[in-house]
Every structure is written in structure tokens, then in C-alpha cells.
Amino acid sequence: MGTRAARALAREGARVLTIRVVPCLDIDAGRVVKGVRFSGMRDAGDPTERALAYEAQGADELVMLDVSATPEGRGNATETVRRVRAVLGIPLTVGGGVRTIEDARALLEAGADKVASNTAAALEPSLLDRLARTFGSQCTVLALDAARRQDGAGWELVVRSGKERTSRCAVAWAREAASRGAGEIVLTSWDRDGTRAGYDIELIGAVTSAVRIPVVASGGAAHAQHMLEAVRAGASAVLAASILHDGEVTVGDLKRALAAAEIPVRM
């Protein structure tokens, strides 16, 4: 190995992967929307324009969720995926309405790099095994929406775009999903989604302690301090929507703040 490379790597010491900052586009009928606790959706722009702007700001990847796919039994937003893929040079995770291997294949063929499953995986967990076997774990993402139980004892899994509580333990489900072959978890706090009250740090800690696969913190981010807390709790990536869509901060602002706190980020 060349000495320059060896020296550079030694300088980096025991460095880890950079922490990813991930804008999330909730998609309804080909438009970006955003609500609070999964409802009260309002328009937040064109997906292609948003995707281009976020890549230019330094986004590490994008998540696109077809939020209306499950409730209305609609198919996947393959056309939107195709348009975004044509311009986007960073990874794209797509979820919403993924019920079968063929649904996933259609999204991958349209330009997704990873496919996220939520409700369908919760109802039929073997979907995760089949996705991982067919496309690989690195392509199989569990979208896990978790709500604090009324009695405060842990979190329960929420399905159908936040509309249905299942009473199932969210942490146990995360562990099972990882053992079935999920390669990543996008972990959304139902309680914090769209509220800007900060991520549910205890939830992130509980799930990242239970699995070895990367966990993307989601739901409640208002500023870089919240992201710093999520990373310290074990998150590999931090997701944000409202604050970016509203132009309050850019991905670059968030990354500069994280870098100042000595969190490794790609600048």
C-alpha cells in the first residue's frame, strides 16, 4: 500500500463512517408534503427540485416516502422515483406501499437504491427475509414508526401511516427485523414527528442498543443540537423534513454545526 494512503489513514486514527444527514421527502400525488404526527399535510414543493437542492446543500442521501400509498391502497410512486433518479447523484431510499418483492423491484428499476417497508413487514415479517435474500440486506430497510405507550412503559409499533397502534414492542420488532435481514432502520418517533420538539432520544438509545445495523433517527428535529443528541445516543444518520423544507436551515448549516461538535461529517 502506498505510504501516502497509509499515513492519511493513520492520521484519521480510529475514525468511523461519517454521520449522514438525510432529508426526507413525504410524497403525495407527486408533490412533497409535510404534516404533524402524520396528518394535516401541506404542500412543500416539487420532489425533483427539492432533491437537487438538498444534494447541492450536501445531503448524504434522500428518503422518499409515499405517505398515501398504504391508506389508499395505491401503488408506488415509481414515476416520481424515476424523475428524481435522473438528476440525483446520491442514494435514494423509497418506501410506501411496498408489499411484495415485485413492488420493491419496480421501485429499484425506477431508480431507488434501498427499499423501505413498514406496514407490510409488520403484518408479514417474512417480507424482510425475502427482500434481503432477493436484493441484499444493504437494500432492505425497515421503516419503524414507534409511539410511547400510554402507561409510559416503552414504545409500541404504529402502522398504516401512523393511524394504527399495534401494542407490539417496537424494540423487539427492531431486533426481529435485523435478524430477518433488514440492513437499516429508519426509526420515526410518532410522538415527535413534525413537532420540532427533538428526537425521542430514549427510543434511539433503546433501538441502537438492541441491533448492530445502522439506525436513522427520525421525527422531531428542529436544529443541530437535536441531531447531536441522536448521534450520541447511537444513531448512524439523522433525518429531517420540516426544518429543511421551510428553509429554516440548510443541510450545510446542520453539518457545519455537527462538525464543530466533532461529529464526523462529509463536508
Binding letters toward other proteins, positions 64-83, x by CB under 8 A: ------------------x-
Enumerate residues 169-188 that contact other proteins by CB under 8 A.
183-184
Binding of residue 102 to other proteins (CB under 8 A): no
SS3 262: coil
d(CA 200, CA 240): 13
Binding of residue 200 to other proteins (CB under 8 A): no
Known catalytic membership, residue 103: no
Binding of residue 156 to other proteins (CB under 8 A): no
Which of 152, 243, 148 is CA-nearest to residue 191? 148
Smallest separation (angstroms) from other proteins to the CB of 108: 6
Q: State the catalytic residue, choosing from 103, 145, 193, 200.
A: 145
Which residue shows C-alpha cell 406496514?
119
Q: CB nearer to other proteins: give 4 or 153.
A: 4
Measured between alpha carbons, how far is residue 255 from residues 49, 54, 236, 241, 242 in Å? 21, 12, 14, 15, 17
Q: State the catalytic residue, choosing from 26, 60, 66, 113.
A: 26
Q: CB nearer to other proteins: give 135 or 199.
A: 135
Which residue shows C-alpha cell 446542520?
254
88-125 burial, b at 16+ Cβ within 10 Å, e below that, comes to beeebbbbbbbbeeebbebbbebbbbbbbbbbbbbeeb
Grid cell, residue 140, equals 432492505
Q: Name the one range near other proteins by CB under 8 A: 38-46, 86-94, 220-228, 249-257.
A: 86-94
**Which residues would be at the binding site for other proteins (CB under 8 A)?**
1-6, 8-9, 12, 15-20, 55, 60-61, 82, 85-86, 88-92, 108-114, 133-139, 183-184, 212-214, 236-237, 266
